[in-house]
Amino acid sequence: MFDVATLAPSILSADFNRLEAHVREAIACDIDWLHLDVMDGHFVPNITIGPLVVRALRKVKEETGVTLDCHLMIEEPERYVEDFVEAGADSVTVHVEAATHLHRVVQQIHSAGARAGVALNPATSLDSIEEILPYVDLVLVMTVNPGFGGQKYIPTSTDKIRRLRQTIDRRGLKVDLQIDGGVNEHTIREAVDAGANVIVSGNSVFGGSRSVADNITALRSALLKIA
């Protein structure tokens, strides 16, 4: 569907010993978004970063204009929304499975001054966001089970992406459709053709033996291929 999509490299796969330098390599390749995966060890079986890491990247954001896109894979996300926005988050996404009062949390994110997103785990139905869809700026479809990087793309995600894109377009909504999980040179075009327009990728940007620039070039080349 889309000839051009926004790449949002996930810093989960970056080298934290040289985090600033590593993300600057990506930004130098005309990357406009950085994706920050926040895990609490409860909602998902891993612990990653908090507002301090967001704040550490704020200087990079202010110098380059890159968007800091925070994905909160945490219980009770409403407790931390303001902390992440104050630290520098431009976009905050919470899980429908973790927010008991989802509409209230979306309002909270907007009130704090950030774009609001809602995320869905692979087994969560699109029906769960039918009522909230007009109020969000972004929907994140997880194409792996959240909690760890380096997993394989779940094939049935493609149909889910396609159905969500059809719903967004039918309702005339200006909502980004983001995907996260298992995105590489072999899966990126399939997901974009289905309707995703913001693509999160970690290992395929920051991992492997190639440079960050070469990895990004490979992903963009795969996007340009005719499906």
* Distance of alpha carbon 159 from the chain centroid: 19
180 is catalytic: yes
b/e per residue 27-64 (b: at least 16 CB within 10 A): bebebebbbbbbbbeebbeeebbbbebbbebeebbeee
> Count of residues for the chain?
227
Cα separation, 53 vs 223, whole angstroms = 31
Residue 211 φ then ψ, to 5°: -70, 165
Question: Measured between alpha carbons, how far is 31 from 40 in angstroms, rounded to an integer?
Answer: 27
User: 214 an active-site residue?
Assistant: no
Catalytic residue among 40, 69, 176, 180: 180
The amino acid sitting at 209 is S
Which of 15, 30, 37, 40 is an active site residue?
37
For strand 91-95 and strand 115-120, is the pairing parallel, antiparallel, or unpaired? parallel
Please state, in angstroms and as integers, the Cα–Cα distance from residue 154 to each residue in 45, 51, 95, 190, 204, following that order: 19, 30, 18, 12, 16
In contact, 92 and 111? CB cutoff 8 Å: no
- Distances in whole angstroms, Cα of residue 149 to Cα of each of 18, 28, 78, 90, 106: 19, 23, 25, 23, 26
Give catalytic residues, as residue numbers: 37, 180
